[in-house]
Amino acid sequence: MSNPPSERTRVKRYSQNAAYAPETVHAILDAMPLCHVGYVFNGSPFVTPTLQWRDGEQIFWHGSTASRMLEAAESQEVCVTVSLYDGLVMGRSAFNYGINYRSVMVFGRPVKLTDPAEKEAQLRHFVNKTIAGQWERLRPVTEQELGLATVLSMPITEASAKLRSGQPDDDQDADFPVWAGVIPVRFEVGTPEPNPKNLPGVELPPEALDFKLG
Amino acid sequence: MSNPPSERTRVKRYSQNAAYAPETVHAILDAMPLCHVGYVFNGSPFVTPTLQWRDGEQIFWHGSTASRMLEAAESQEVCVTVSLYDGLVMGRSAFNYGINYRSVMVFGRPVKLTDPAEKEAQLRHFVNKTIAGQWERLRPVTEQELGLATVLSMPITEASAKLRSGQPDDDQDADFPVWAGVIPVRFEVGTPEPNPKNLPGVELPPEALDFKLG
């Protein structure tokens, strides 16, 4: 926690269900590559969805509109949030109606990877985290493509997780005659849809069958 | 589009795959209640996950940490983003590796609902949007609970959607011998898990079987 601004400490004080254990934070980041990058541009907040991945104690993400904006102001603060919807919590009152979820917020000032070798190494890590060995099967990336790709990174030093799981907490209403419980939700990976122009004989790599989210 | 700040117009100019048709924006908001509210607090960006719902041309969301912060500064700008991961796009190179997705960004200055009747009407709308008629089955909300609930709202006037669907766009690499295609992902709703303290005879309402995400 290097120089945590007071307002962020305040977030933590506010938070219910908060957790700061690195393994909890890491597990949530690893479960869902889709992330939401929040940043300030000309005084206004923006939240841009993009793809993140983790390598040890660092978080990386693909640049997009956000990166173009961040380039305009070096070392801007960001908040990267990853969230998963795990289930509908059906309490016995609207007050206890909600969802089960896992989420992580990571705060910091990202840097843009400039070393082509480091950028390539991280893109390889990202691709192979999704499907083992896939980077080595792909048409090699060109120097120009590498130049066009934007990868941002920051250490996972200031982060917190929030989670909720299990049944509604409304025993005090247990005598009210309504069904209470949880409707769980998870990601279902469907049947791969081959590209119509795939060459004869090319096969889906068996490792792709291990692809999962959540 | 009332007074769109120039930086937001710039976002739109940057965007690829952008769409502004209300029916597209509405369909994405309706598909996924989990949203990410971005706001600025003491100059720093925060992205807080919470639950949103739509009523006509207005977006509403549950207050949380974000609302406590927003209360500190009335009429702050926010960006509410909703995103769905629809599939892994396996291009033939890392450059064409990505995801299919749907996302919406809504910009504005939210107001907090203060009229208890309006707040109750919106919470009812939220619950019944999830499971038809569920509000009427629940233990009625108390005046105190209604006071504790924070509901924020803003018009969906400044919004844009970004989407990607279908196969990778890399026909130029079609002679490279690697499997290309899409691995679709969707939400699977599991078997409802009843609360152990449910009264004998209470049943899951049949409408709950219509619950879905995505």
CB pairs under 8 A between A and B: 297
pLDDT at residue B195 is higher than 90: yes
Choose from B10, B44, B78, B128 for mutation: most chain A CBs within 10 A: B44
Q: CA dist B86 to B22, B28, B52, Å? A: 21, 12, 20
pLDDT at residue B97 is higher than 80: yes
Which chain A residue has the Cα nearest residue B203? A179
Please tell me which of the candidates B46, B103, B139 has its beta carbon nearest to residue A173.
B139
Choose from A139, A151, A212 for mutation: most chain B CBs within 10 A: A139
Nearby residues of A46 by Cβ (< 8 Å), 6 or more positions away:
A38, A39, A40, A65, A66, A69, B11, B38, B79, B105
Determine the pLDDT at residue A42.
86
Give B1 to chain A, closest Cα distance, Å. 16
Maximal CA-CA distance, chain B: 67
Give A56 to chain B, closest Cα distance, Å. 22
Report how far residue A46's alpha carbon sits from residue B22's, in angstroms, rounded to the nearest whole number: 20
Q: Higher pLDDT residue, B72 or B109? A: B109
Q: How many helices (H) and strands (E) does chain A have?
A: 6, 11
- The string of DSSP codes covering A47-77 is EEEEEEEEETTEEEEE-SHHHHHHHHSTT--
Which chain A residue has the Cα nearest residue B146? A95
Is-contact B80 B52, C-beta < 8 A? Answer: yes
Number of compact structural domains in chain A = 1
CATH classification at residue A128: 2.30.110.10
* H or E element, residue A185: strand A181-189
pLDDT tens over chain A, length 214 residues = 333 333 443 334 334 556 788 999 999 999 999 999 999 988 899 999 999 999 999 999 988 666 777 776 667 999 999 999 999 999 999 999 999 999 999 999 999 999 999 999 999 999 999 999 999 999 999 999 999 889 999 999 999 999 999 999 999 999 999 999 999 999 999 999 999 999 999 999 999 999 999 9
Please tell me which of the candidates B47, B78, B190 has its beta carbon nearest to residue A185.
B190
Cross-strand partners of A93: B139
ipTM: 0.91
Tokens 């909703």 label which residue?
A: B82
Q: Which tokens is A23 given?
A: 């393994």
Determine the pLDDT at residue B57.
96
Q: Higher pLDDT residue, B142 or B63? A: B142
Q: Over A134-174, what HEC string results?
A: HHHHCECCCHHHHHHCCEEEEECCEEEEEEECCCCCCHHHC
Contact between chains at A44 and B41 (C-beta distance less than 8 A): no
Q: Higher pLDDT residue, B208 or A4? A: B208
Q: Which tokens is A161 given?
A: 């997780």
Give B65 to chain A, closest Cα distance, Å. 6
Enumerate the residues of chain B whose CB falls inside 8 A of the CB of residue A83: 34, 36, 49
pLDDT tens, position by position, B118-137: 999 999 999 999 999 999 99
Give B25 to chain A, closest Cα distance, Å. 15
Going by pLDDT thresholds of 50, 70 and 90, the confidence category of residue B117 is very high
Determine the pLDDT at residue B108.
95
- With respect to residue B201, please indicate whether it lies within any of the assigned structural domains: no
Determine the pLDDT at residue B138.
98
H helix runs in chain B, sequence order: 6-14, 22-31, 65-72, 116-130, 134-137, 143-148
* H or E element, residue A112: strand A111-112
- With respect to residue A1, please indicate whether it lies within any of the assigned structural domains: no
Give how far the C-alpha of residue B132 lies from the chain's centroid of Cα atoms, to the nearest Å.
19
Enumerate the residues of chain A whose CB falls inside 8 A of the CB of residue B28: none
Determine the pLDDT at residue A5.
39
Determine the pLDDT at residue A17.
59
Determine the pLDDT at residue B17.
58
Read off the amino acid at residue A7. Answer: E
Q: CA dist A57 to A80, A104, A105, A124, A132, Å? A: 14, 14, 14, 17, 21
Give A210 to chain B, closest Cα distance, Å. 11
Q: What is the SS3 assignment for A208? A: helix
Report how far residue B25's alpha carbon sits from residue B103's, in angstroms, rounded to the nearest whole number: 8
Determine the pLDDT at residue B104.
97
For residue A63, give its domain range.
Answer: 6-210
Other CB atoms within 10 Å distance of the CB of residue B1: 9
